[in-house]
Amino acid sequence: MASEREPRKPNLVEPVNESETSKQTNNQSAPKILPKSDIPPTNGNSCNTEKNKEHRLNKLRFGVEILTLIAVVFYGWVAYRQWGEMRRSTDASVKSADQAKRAADIADTTLKSNDVSFRMTMRPYMTIKDITISNFTPEKKFRVDITGENSGKTPALNFIWVSKLQIGQKDFRIDTNYNLKDASKGTAGPNAQYVTTHHGPNELPKSMFDEINQGQLKILVHGKITYGDIFPQEKSATKHGTPYATSYCAFYEPIRYKALQFCSFGNSMK
């Protein structure tokens, strides 16, 4: 039975030489401990650092934007205040200018008014003082005298006096086409009187005399005096240098009145 045993397998595990193993163990150096500062950071710490840096930058950027917004708002507020002050200053200037203009206009108006008032007070006034008829008898030559007077305080310069005598029906129209060749001309001083005279027909027919006395005919005398003043033309009281004018009209109806009467028209003075 011993012959039938399986052959002995060789021992594949080599025996360990303890001395050699100990030697090899001694030859291996112990692990070296590095300082904490020399230990390289891990990848996770690097990512955290980048994120922290970006976060700080974002916070700084946000702060700068807030400061910029505050600066813009403050600048806008300052600009608005300045605009308001400029507007108030401009309004005050315009108001002051308007007030100054109104004051100047009032002063100018007052001066002109005073100037016109002075000229109107000192200007000449040619007036008709009286109109009389004399020698009104048949077969005679009657006459009508018209007395004018400058009742103003300064001379009436370059007066031109035109006049006309007419005999006609009670409702006849007056003829104002005066003949300048027969006009009286001159200068009338203050309070000076001037007389112009009209004569009737050389011999007044009795028939015409009777018709006048009975009111069928009437005698009419009318005229106009134009004149200037001593003031320069630009300061003259007359508009655009237009002369002053006095117009008159009077009629004679002995059946109603003993003397000549002024007409209801044709009498004016400017």
pLDDT, tens only, 173-189? 888 899 888 899 999 99
Question: Which residue spans within 135-263 are E strands per DSSP?
Answer: 143-150, 156-169, 184-188, 193-199, 217-228, 244-252, 261-262
Residue 61 has pLDDT above 60, yes or no: yes
Query: In terms of domains, do 97 and 215 share one?
Result: no
Same domain, 193 and 98: no
CB neighbours of residue 132 within 10 Å? 14
Does the residue 11 lie in any domain?
no
Q: pLDDT higher for 99 or 36?
A: 99
59 & 140 share domain: no
pLDDT of residue 131: 95
Averaged pLDDT for residues 34-62: 68
Query: Within this chain, do residues 171 and 206 fall inside the same structural domain, yes or no?
Result: yes
Return the pLDDT at 3.
47
Q: What is the per-residue burial (b if ≥16 Cβ within 10 Å, else e) of 225-255?
A: bbbbbebeeeebbbeeeebbebbbbbbbbbe
Judge whether 148 and 168 are in contact, CB under 8 Å.
no
CB 267 within 8 A of CB 127: no
**33 found inside a domain:** no
Average pLDDT, rounded, for the chain: 80
Structure tokens at 183: 């006009």
Q: Tell me what pLDDT residue 40 has.
A: 55
User: pLDDT grade, residue 243 (50/70/90)?
Assistant: confident
Residues 172 and 70 in one domain: no
pTM of the model: 0.58
- The answer on 163 and 222 residing in a single domain is yes
Asked whether residue 204 falls in the same domain as residue 79, the answer is: no
Instruction: Examine the domain organization and report whether 130 and 108 are in the same domain.
Output: no
Domain count, the chain: 2
**Sign of the alpha-carbon torsion through 177, 180, 181, 185:** positive
For the chain, give the longest Cα–Cα distance: 222
**Of 79, 103, 122, which residue constitutes the final position of a domain?**
122
Domain-embedded: residue 177: yes
Residues 116, 133, single domain; the answer is no
Residues 151 and 57 reside in one and the same domain: no
Residue type, 151: S
Q: Residues 142, 187: one domain? A: yes
End residue of a domain, out of 103, 122, 141: 122
- Residue 178 inside a domain? The answer is yes
Q: What pLDDT, on a 0 to 100 scale, did the predictor assign at position 240? A: 45
192 vs 84, 126, 195, 219, CA distance in Å? 71, 10, 10, 28
44 or 148: which carries more pLDDT confidence? 148
Q: Domain of residue 96: give its range.
A: 51-122
Residues 94 and 186 placed together within one structural domain of the fold: no
Mean pLDDT of 80-92: 81
Tell whether the model's pLDDT for residue 31 goes beyond 90.
no
What stretches of the chain show up as alpha helix (H) in DSSP?
A: 18-27, 43-122, 206-213
Structural domain contains residue 192? yes
In the 8-state DSSP scheme, what is residue 3? T
